[in-house]
Structure 1
C-alpha cells in the first residue's frame, strides 16, 4: 500500500499538505478524497485532544479494493500553513474542490473514477462537491439534511439529554445560554471573535449556520451512500430519510445500530465524555466494509474515457 506526499494548491495559493495512498499494482486507479469533521484536524482526522484516526483505516480498506485515497492537513494544522480559526466554511469547501481537481490532474488517477467520502463537516462539503463538480460517487458519514442552525440546535439538545440527570434539570437555562451564544456569533463581523470568553472561528460559524445542505442534495447527479449511527449525538439519524428523498436518483441509506458520531459502536448510553474511551477502539469494521464494497461497485466499474 504505497503512500506518497501530495500537496494541493488552494485557490489562494496555500499549499495543503497531504498524503495519497495508492493500491498495489499499475494505475491509473479510481480514487476518493477523504474529508474530515470540524476544527483543527490533520490529514488523519486527528486533533491533539480527539484522535479520531479515520484516514488510515479508510485508506487501507479502499486500497485493498483497488481505490486510492487522498487526505490533507487543514489550514493551520500539520504541515499546512495558516490559522484554522480564520478559515471560513466556504474556504474549506473551496479547498476540497481544489483537491478534487488535483486528483483529476494526476496520470496515476482515473479522471472518470473520482469519489468523495466526508465525515461530519466533511459530509457537508462532500454534498457540495457532488452538486458542483464531476465526482462519480459520494459517501456521507454523519451528514445532516437542513439548515446548519437547525442542526446546531438539535446537537445541543441531544448532548444535554445525554448528560447526568442533575445536569438535565438545567436544560432550559442551558438553552438560554446557547441562544445568547448564537446571537453573539451572528453579530460578529470578523473571522475570529471572542464569544463567551473563548476565541472562536466566527466566520466559519456564521457561514455554517446559514448553510442549507438541502440545496446541494437536491441537485446531486451521482450515486450516494449515507450512513449515520443510531447513537449519534451530533447528527439526527432521521435525516437519512430526508437525504434519500432529496437526492434526485435516491440514496442508499443505513442507520447503523450502536454506531456513534466518532464511528465506533457504543453498547451503553452514548455521551461526549465517552468519546475518549471509544477512540481507544478501531473504526467500526462493518462500516469500513460497507463503504469499501459500495465504492468498489460504483468507482471500479466506471467506464474509462
Structure 2
C-alpha cells in the first residue's frame, strides 16, 4: 500500500517543479528515491503526449512495496510545471534535478535519499551521484560516452533495425538530415525552426557536448547500471565502460530488454515501440531495482 502527496520543488531560478511524493503506508521515516525520466517534454509519470511509458508510477509502486518513498516531478513546460520546454537546456534539466534532490532530502519523514534515472535521466543521476549527497544510484539505459557519439550510435542503430525499404529511404534522406542537425548544433539560439517544427537547439547543443565519463569516474556510492540487450537507443556495450570507470558498480545486461524497459522476444525494431508501450514496464526489472535499492537503503522486506 502507498499514499501519494503533491510535492513542489523550487528550482534555483524560482520555478516551481510540480510533482508527486509516493510514500509507503507503513510508519516512517522512510528512505526515498528521486526518479529522473528520459528526454523530451516529459511529465512526472514519464509520459510525453501520446508516448506514455508510465515508468514513474510503476517504479514508485514497486519501491513502495519495499518501504521506499519516491519523488517524481514534471519537467519545465510539461504537466503542471510552467515554462517553454523548447527553451530548456540539458544543463537546466540537471540543475532542476539537483533542486528536486534538495527538496526531497529536506522533506520531513525522509531518512536517506537515492537517485534513479532512465536514459537522459540516468546521465543526470550519474552527475548527482558524483557531486551530491545521495546514498545510492541506479542508471537505467544510461550512456557512457560523449553525447555526440551517443547520438550518432543511436541514429545508426535505429536505422539499421528498420525494414530494408525504410532503410533505403533513410539512406537517401541522411545527407539532408545531417545538414539540418548541423545547423541546429552550430546555432546560438535556444530554439531553431526546421521546416514547420520548433527544435530545442539549446538542449541539443548541450547534450551533444556533455561527456558523462568524468562524473561516472567520481562516483563513490553504490551504483547499479542496467541496459537491455535489445536497446536500440543506448549501446549495451557502454556497461563495460561504466564497469571500468566505477569498479565497485554492479552492471546488468538484460536479454530481450528494450530501451522502453519492456521485454521484446522478437527482432528489435523501432516500429515495435507502439506495441511495446501497450504492455507494462517489465516486472522483473522493477523487482530487481526495488530489491537492490532496498538492500542498500536498509528495507529488504516487502511491506
Instruction: Give the shorter-chain TM-score range.
Output: over 0.9
The residue correspondences of 1:116-127 to structure 2 (distance < 5 A) are 116-127=115-126
Quick check: 1:91 aligned with 2:92? yes
Displacement after TM superposition at 1:82 (Å): 0.7
Quick check: 1:217 aligned with 2:209? no
Displacement after TM superposition at 1:170 (Å): 4.7
Q: Which residue of 2 aligns with 1:30?
A: 31
Displacement after TM superposition at 1:197 (Å): 4.5
Q: Which residue of 2 aligns with 1:146?
A: 145
User: In the TM superposition, what whole-angstrom CA distance separates every residue of 1:87-145 from its partner, at most 9, and x where no partner exists?
Assistant: 100000000000110011112101xx211110011001001101110111110000000
Conserved? CA contact 1:16–1:80, under 8 Å: yes
Conserved? CA contact 1:184–1:195, under 8 Å: no
Displacement after TM superposition at 1:149 (Å): 0.5
Quick check: 1:234 aligned with 2:269? no
Q: Which residue of 1 aligns with 2:108?
A: 107
Conserved? CA contact 2:67–2:299, under 8 Å: no
Quick check: 1:12 aligned with 2:13? yes
Conserved? CA contact 2:22–2:69, under 8 Å: yes
The residue correspondences of 1:69-218 to structure 2 (distance < 5 A) are 69-110=70-111, 113-170=112-169, 172-195=171-194, 197-218=196-217
C-alpha separation between the residues in 1 aligned to 2:186 and 2:145? 22
Q: Which residue of 2 aligns with 1:256?
A: 254
C-alpha separation between the residues in 2 aligned to 1:188 and 1:197? 17
Instruction: List structure 1 runs of 4+ shifted beyond 6 angstroms.
Output: none
Displacement after TM superposition at 1:172 (Å): 4.4
Q: Which runs of 5+ in 1 are unaligned?
A: none
Which moves more between the two structures, 200-209 or 168-177? Answer: 168-177
C-alpha separation between the residues in 1 aligned to 2:265 and 2:279? 13
Displacement after TM superposition at 1:232 (Å): 0.5
Displacement after TM superposition at 1:178 (Å): 3.9
C-alpha separation between the residues in 1 aligned to 2:64 and 2:51? 25
C-alpha separation between the residues in 2 aligned to 1:264 and 1:257? 11
Q: 1:293 aligns with which of 291, 294, 303?
A: 291
Displacement after TM superposition at 1:297 (Å): 0.7
Q: Which residue of 1 aligns with 2:281?
A: 283
Displacement after TM superposition at 1:196 (Å): 5.1
Which moves more between the two structures, 133-142 or 266-275? Answer: 266-275
Displacement after TM superposition at 1:177 (Å): 3.2
Conserved? CA contact 1:181–1:196, under 8 Å: no
C-alpha separation between the residues in 2 aligned to 1:273 and 1:170? 15
C-alpha separation between the residues in 2 aligned to 1:255 and 1:195? 37
Q: Which residue of 1 aligns with 2:267?
A: 269
C-alpha separation between the residues in 1 aligned to 2:240 and 2:96? 29
C-alpha separation between the residues in 2 aligned to 1:256 and 1:298? 21
Conserved? CA contact 2:162–2:271, under 8 Å: no
CA-atom RMSD in angstroms? 1.4
